[in-house]
Amino acid sequence: MTRAFMNLIGRILIAALFLGGAFQKLSDPTPSVRMIASLGLPSALVWAVAAFNLVAGLALILGPRVRLWAFVLAAYCIGTSWFHWQLRADPWQMTIVVKNWAIAGGLLILAAEGPGRLVRWR
């Protein structure tokens, strides 16, 4: 039971990042809109990203298809690192890049190991 419980707590902690991102984008989309627009992408993309973060975060906790969501979120973390790759402009952003990679690593372990026994839908 301890292993299953730790898996659940780990999933909740990782999901909190994505759920928090969704709520941030929904409550104050301006910073994300600026970042998206600065890359020449349509600012309305913020709503799709917020929805993705919300659905993916809930799926990590409850299911279904936790392994698939973990894999997709790992790719998302690596992909979004591109937004923070600003070595000369803001060295602190490189810390965010490394954190995204670390989160992707944890998600890949979750994708490999699965959600454990304490998941509503597999």
pLDDT tens, position by position, 47-56: 999 999 999 9
* Higher pLDDT, residue 119 or 67: 67
- Which residues, at least 6 apart from 100, have a Cβ–Cβ distance to it below 8 Å? 77, 78, 80, 81, 84
72-90 average pLDDT score: 84
Q: Write down the pLDDT at residue 95.
A: 87
Entry pTM: 0.87
Handedness of CA 31, 92, 76, 10 (dihedral sign): negative
* Tokens matching residue 70: 């973990």
Q: Which residue has the higher pLDDT, 89 or 13?
A: 13
